[in-house]
Amino acid sequence: MSSSSTIVTAGLTKHYGDVKAVVDLDLAIDAGEVFGFLGPNGSGKTTTIRTMLDLIRPTAGTASILGLDSHRDAVEIRQHIGYVPGELALYRNLTGKELITYFANLRGGVDWTRVNLLAERLDAVLDKKVGELSTGNRQKVALVQAFMSKPSVLVLDEPSIGLDPLVQQQFQAIIREAAEEGATVFLSSHTLSEVERVASRVGIIRTGRLIVVETMEALKEKAVRTVTMQFDQPVGEAEFAAVAGVRDASVDGTQATVAVEGSMAQLLQLASSLGVVEMSSNESDLEEIFLTYYREDAAQ
């Protein structure tokens, strides 16, 4: 967190009557960072985003983007923002091209070479009326309009809904390129694998409260891997259970299966000393971590 962060919220709070949609949210996201914003349905993700964009006003606290106040300097902020709303609705009577021209005119022009390039990469249909497009194809039009002005801040609320896996891949590449060029990406998503692939840091929000902000590396360190080992002789369960980071161990004769969190160095040492002949490990399961955070907090 630094004072020159691109997106900063301080004590951001939004109540709807008695319902506390967002409570005391403190965030700081730096330039060039892809920030994954996660949380269950109704946790306050979209409310946070809509407050940052001045579509709704905070009950307390502030949000600033590029050092500008989200309410006072809303119009100036929007010069620099590309946005994909969570509940996407486009003007159905316009073609994709007309829609993009319209938004481009509101922004004072557009680089059509870039639009065409984006449309090509995402396989977006721009010559049909938006109302005639499928959900996925509408989403592509929304993505083109969000990225077309090379914005320095991208606010993406569930941006990959309806996209096929190939287009998802392209979209993730576009996000990474934007970040490499210095853009800040605020990515709210339920597609955990997507967040895992593109985000450098994630925040998890639940019932309006931010419960954790971690870098992806730190989360991966916490991730639990399941390791299965085959030995040349029977081994004891207690030896594995005693290793630092091992959460769970079970032994069946010459085969041991352990769940380990963080570094595997000690486990490998032990396995080697016991005469391991074969070893397999699954990928660290970030999804499980995310879900644990969801559940842990739910239980509180």
Partner 1 sequence: MLLNSVYTKTLRDRWLGVAIGTLSIGLMVAMGVATYRSLDEVIAELIRSYPEALLSMLGATPELLAGGATRFVLAEMTNFLAPLVLAGIAISVGTSTIAGEERLGTLGLLLANPRSRTAVLMSKLASLVTLMVLGGLLMWGATEAGAAAAGVASGTARVGAASVHVAAAALSFGALSLCIGAWTGNATAATGITTGALIVSFLGAGLFPLIEGAADVARIFPWYYIAAAEPLQHGVDWGHVAILLAASSILSGLAVVGVNRRDLRSGAAATLLDQLRRSARLARLSELISGRAQVANTAARTFSESRGVAVIVAYVMFLTALLIGLLFNALSDTLGNFADAIPEALVALFGDGDVSTPEGWYQLEVFSFVVPGGMIVVAIMMGARAIGGEQDNSTMDLLLANPITRPRLVAEKGIAMVLAMLVLGVTAFAGTIAGSLLGGLGMSAANVAAASAQSAALAVVFGAATMLAGAATGRSRPAALAGAAIALAAYVANSFLRVDPRVADWARLSPFNYYMDNDALVNGISWANVGVLAAAAVVLLVLCAIVFERRDVRS
Q: Which residues of 15-45 are buried (b: 16+ CB within 10 A; e: fewer)?
A: eeeeebbbbebebbbbbbbbbbbbbbeebbb
Residue 86: both structure tokens together: 């969570």
The CA distance from 294 to 211, in Å, is 9
Site string for partner 1, 133-172 (x = CB under 8 A): ---------x--x---------x-----------------
Orientation angle between helical segments 96-107 and 112-122, nearest 10 degrees: 140
Stretch 22-51 residues interacting with partner 1 (CB under 8 A): 46, 50
Q: How far is the CB of 219 from partner 1 (least distance, A)?
A: 30
Place of tokens 């639009």: 115
Q: How far is the CB of 150 from partner 1 (least distance, A)?
A: 15
Q: Which of residues 131, 236, 253, 275 is near partner 1 by CB under 8 A?
A: 131
Alpha-helical (H) ranges within 14-134 are 45-52, 74-79, 96-107, 112-122
Stretch 71-110 residues interacting with partner 1 (CB under 8 A): 74-76, 78-79, 81, 83, 85, 87-95, 98-99, 101-103, 105-107
Residue 34's beta-bridge partner residues? 185
Stretch that binds partner 1, among 2-10, 25-33, 126-134, 251-259 (CB under 8 A): 126-134
Query: Could you count the other beta carbons within 10 Å of the beta carbon of residue 102?
Result: 13
Say what the alpha-carbon torsion angle 113, 114, 120, 121 is, to the nearest 10 degrees: 150
Q: How far is the CB of 106 from partner 1 (least distance, A)?
A: 4
Asked if 127 interacts with partner 1 (CB under 8 A), we say no
Q: How far is the CB of 92 from partner 1 (least distance, A)?
A: 5
Residues that bind partner 1 (CB under 8 A): 46, 50, 53-57, 74-76, 78-79, 81, 83, 85, 87-95, 98-99, 101-103, 105-107, 129, 131-132, 142, 145, 155
